[in-house]
Structures are given as structure tokens and as C-alpha cells.
Amino acid sequence: MGQAMGQDASLGRGLRLGLLVGLGCVAASFGIDYQFANRGLPLLLIDGGYHGTQFLLFGLILGAWPS
């Protein structure tokens, strides 16, 4: 994620990238697995939300990190 932000890292860019990776990649991957395993939407929202928040924090930290 840090390399994807490049030299112009900022808090806003970090948050957007964290949200994109967390929800777009990780939570979507969970969605496919949960659909195959026949798990319900509440479990997907809990687990996907947890990892989405985790990557949001990663993006926040990387965006605030001095270059």
C-alpha cells in the first residue's frame, strides 16, 4: 500500500487507498468465500468490516508517515 501511494502520500490518499483495498479486495474476497460456505450476511459484515477498518487504519498510518 505504501508503494501504491507514491511520493505524494497524504492522509486523504491513505484513507481512500485503505478503504479501496480493505473493502474492494479483502471484503469482496470474504464475500465469495462466505457465499460458497453458505454463511449469512451478518457474519460477512462483521468480518469484512473488521478487515476493512484494519486496512483503513493501515492507510491512515501510511498516509501520515513522513516521506
Predicted structure pTM score: 0.78
In single-letter form, the type of residue at position 32 comes to I
Q: Where are the beta strands (DSSP E) in 13-67?
A: none
How far is it, in rounded angstroms, from Cα 37 to Cα 23? 20
| CA torsion, ordered 26, 27, 29, 32, to nearest 10 deg | 180
Closest CA to 33 of 51, 15, 60: 51
Question: Per-residue confidence of the chain (67 residues) as pLDDT tens digits?
Answer: 767 777 777 888 888 888 888 888 888 899 899 999 999 999 999 988 899 899 999 989 988 887 6
